[in-house]
Chains A and B, each alone.
Chain A
Amino acid sequence: MRSTSLALLTLALTACAPSGDDPASRLTFHAPETGEYRLGYLEPPWELVSASGTSALLRIPSNLMLATGLDAGEGKYDLSVTVEPGAAEARIEQELRMAAARGEEVSAGPRVVSLAGGVVGREILTQRSDPIARSFRIVVAPVSGGRVLRLAFGATPSLDTAEIDAMIAQVEIGPTP
């Protein structure tokens, strides 16, 4: 009797949950009030560090952060989300020049990247080796009002992975530009 009750309770609880077939079912979403974008992230390990206006900063803490409890320095993964004026093509060229100025090596791009809803953006992948090896992935996609959504990933591991691809692919752009 107790087992039956437990089973029925479990079934009742699972009946209300979203389907696990949808990858979005396990994501936490952040969207600015103005609706330019909607970003889904897997929490944990990602966590929203701060959000203001159309900007947001997300992070996966480094092992050093976790061990010492210090919230300083670069995380294992960082993601800075901003909405900035400009066109996607011009903006990615500007990102290339800025990366070269920082001494980063371009490992891929500029290339086309797909976001949710068939929105197409542009991206570059760069990396630096000094003082600590770190990879960067910059994605820009057009949003309304002659602006672009800029996703700036930085990480110690490689960023050219299926997980990052999937994270970018589910970013929804608000009103059609």
Chain B
Amino acid sequence: MTRALIAMLALALWPATVDAQESLGMGRRLGRPSVRAPEPEAPPPAQPDADRWPGPQIQLGYGYLKLADGYGGGDAHLADLSVFIQWPVTELRVALRGQVGARDYSLGGDDLLAVASVEIGYQLTGLLDPLVPHASLVVSFGGLVGERFETTVAHGLGGAGLELGAALRLYRNLHLHAAFGYQRWEMDGAAFDVFTFRVGAGL
């Protein structure tokens, strides 16, 4: 009788003992409780550059510059489109830019000003994220069409200079940008000190 009670008590406690054991995972489910299932693979460590913004890819904005007309005028207001070429080295900044707008001429109506530029420079990606400052060399070519003495005249122009600016990333690639620059242009046999200002947004 006593032996029967001990046996019944042992049978009653045995499942509780098993449940108290640590799970053996796949090994137990496969009928091999002594074999522990391999731990699931940990996700690969995050790459330091994975979240690094490579800089702007395209920008739309407004540009201002003063191309002096010799009579106190020459303010130019331009629509600005910049397309950036992406490189494995994100610090290398290469962009093609087109600007079109109106330039004030003191003695008559506004001129049409069109400028194409190539920008090559350095941008500091990552370190100040979400801010990406840059310093660039800018080479520009373009043309100006206007009315002089009721006659349409056109002049080519070109020059080069430097630009400093920064882009502030808002969300993913969406960013705001602003830049100041100085270029020395030649047009119609005269040289111009051209100070530029650009603001806008981009992706």
A contact residues vs B (CB 8 Å cutoff): 3-4, 6-8, 10-11, 13-26, 42, 44-46, 60, 76-77, 156-157, 161-163, 166
Chain A contacts of B151 at CB under 8 A? 44-45, 60, 76
The answer to whether B189 touches A26, judged by C-beta atoms less than 8 angstroms apart, is yes
For the complex with contacts A7-B160, A14-B185, A20-B68, 12 further pairs of A-B residues with Cβ separation under 8 Å are: A3-B118, A10-B139, A14-B186, A15-B191, A18-B191, A22-B190, A25-B190, A26-B188, A42-B149, A46-B149, A157-B150, A161-B107
Supply 11 A–B pairs (Cβ within 8 Å), ascending by A: A3-B137, A6-B139, A7-B139, A14-B184, A23-B70, A23-B71, A26-B188, A26-B189, A45-B151, A163-B148, A166-B71
Among B67, B149, B150, B159, the one with the most A-chain Cβ atoms within 10 Å of its Cβ is B149
Interface of B is mostly: strand
The answer to whether A25 touches B70, judged by C-beta atoms less than 8 angstroms apart, is yes
Chain A contacts of B150 at CB under 8 A? 60, 76-77, 156-157
B contact residues vs A (CB 8 Å cutoff): 67-71, 106-108, 118, 120, 137, 139, 148-151, 153, 158-160, 184-193
Given contacts A20-B192, A76-B151, contact A11 B70 (CB under 8 A): no
C-alpha gap A80/B39 in the complex (Å):
100
Chain B contacts of A8 at CB under 8 A? 160
Nearest CB in chain B to that of A9: its residue:
B160
The 3 closest A-B pairs by CB, nearest first: A23-B70, A7-B160, A17-B191
